[in-house]
């Protein structure tokens, strides 16, 4: 059996930046174990599998070690592949997923994700979190992921967490964030998820489901520009619209090939 794959750098308008995701368009679902082994073989933060069903496209996402309920950059990558490689005629693609219906549309030369807003709730600073991050913590919140506010953009850039300690926390991953310079970026972030096989994710659309409502409330803005300040880096163009967030970005196809299964 041969399966065609495409690798996309999401949230970047050029190669070797943003977050790489692998995309498979399948005729029918493979066994869960096989999809997990394929994702482990590629060893990217996410591999997306899409199948056209009666109600439309269905998407599933796998890290090298786990299936996850929501992923932004791989959804952006999947939409880019369907539109650019497979000639999907619509200007909007609606994916069914474990997190409900997720739509992707074209806007101003970018792809725009429509995801649920997940406002975080206050949790309070603990010694375990400060020790795990090796950083002074301003605030700690939670909404599916742990969201930790640091004192400055530089503190986010300089953060060198103890990944083993991060993996022991009772959360899938930890977002660190701070206010940006207010000129180019309203806020910055990084995301660490060693417990699900991602030491640091280069650019994470799904974390912005919580980052956008958090920073919108604090900056009194509904339209925000964000930068995930990982080594690869990525730009996200964000809007809060009621109980939904819009997350825009570019996508660049960097490789295509065939996986051969004996």
Check if 2-117+248-260 and 121-238 are the same fold: yes
> What's the chain's average pLDDT?
96
Task: Name the CATH superfamily housing domain 2-117+248-260.
Answer: Diaminopimelate Epimerase; Chain A, domain 1 (3.10.310.10)
Cβ(79)–Cβ(21) below 8 Å:
no
82-110 confidence digits (pLDDT tens) = 999 999 988 899 999 999 999 999 998 89
Token pair, residue 130, equals: 């400060």
User: Do 202 and 230 contact (CB within 8 A), yes or no?
Assistant: yes
pLDDT per position as a tens digit, 48-76 = 999 999 989 999 999 999 999 999 999 99
Decide if 19 contacts 73 (C-beta within 8 A): yes
The pTM of the whole model exceeds 0.75: yes
Q: Return the CATH number of 121-238, one of 3.40.366.30, 3.10.310.10, 3.40.630.30, 1.20.1250.20.
A: 3.10.310.10
Do the bridges between strand 46-53 and strand 19-26 make them parallel or antiparallel, or are there none, so unpaired?
A: parallel
Residue 54's φ and ψ, nearest 5 degrees, are -60, -35
Q: Show which residues are catalytic.
A: 46
Mean pLDDT across the stretch 167-188?
95
Strand 56-62 versus strand 46-53 pairing type: antiparallel
Task: Report residue 2's pLDDT band, with 50, 70 and 90 as the boundaries.
Answer: very high
- Name the β-bridge partners of 251: 10
Sequence ranges of the domains in the chain: 2-117+248-260, 121-238
Distance separating alpha carbons of residues 185 and 224, to the nearest angstrom:
8
Q: For residues 156 and 172, give the distance between their C-alpha atoms in angstroms, rounded to a whole number.
A: 19
Q: DSSP E strands: which ranges in 11-155? A: 19-26, 46-53, 56-62, 67-68, 92-97, 100-107, 110-116, 121-122, 137-142, 146-150
């Amino acid at each position: 059996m041969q399966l065609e794959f495409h690798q996309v750098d999401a949230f970047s308008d050029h190669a070797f930046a943003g977050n790489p995701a692998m995309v498979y368009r399948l005729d029918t679902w493979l066994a869960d174990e096989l999809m997990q082994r394929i994702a482990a073989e590629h060893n990217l933060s996410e591999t997306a599998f899409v199948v056209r069903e009666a109600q439309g496209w269905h998407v599933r996402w796998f890290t090298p070690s786990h299936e996850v309920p929501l992923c932004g950059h791989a959804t952006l990558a999947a939409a880019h592949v369907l539109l650019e490689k497979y000639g999907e005629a619509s200007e909007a693609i609606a994916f069914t997923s474990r997190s409900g219906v997720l739509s992707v549309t074209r806007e101003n030369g970018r792809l725009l994700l429509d995801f649920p807003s997940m406002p975080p709730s206050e949790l309070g600073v603990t010694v375990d979190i400060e020790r795990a991050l090796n950083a002074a913590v301003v605030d700690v919140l939670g909404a599916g992921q742990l969201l930790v506010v640091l004192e400055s953009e530089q503190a986010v850039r300089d953060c060198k967490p103890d990944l083993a300690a991060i993996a022991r926390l009772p959360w899938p991953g930890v977002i660190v964030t701070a206010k940006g310079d207010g000129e180019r970026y309203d806020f910055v972030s990084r995301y660490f998820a060693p417990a699900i096989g991602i030491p640091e994710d280069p650019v994470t659309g799904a974390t912005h489901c919580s980052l956008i409502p958090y920073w919108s409330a604090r900056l009194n803005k509904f339209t925000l520009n964000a930068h995930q300040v990982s080594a690869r880096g990525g730009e996200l163009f964000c809007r809060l619209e009621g109980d939904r967030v819009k997350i825009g970005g570019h996508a660049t196809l960097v490789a295509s090939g065939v996986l051969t299964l004996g």
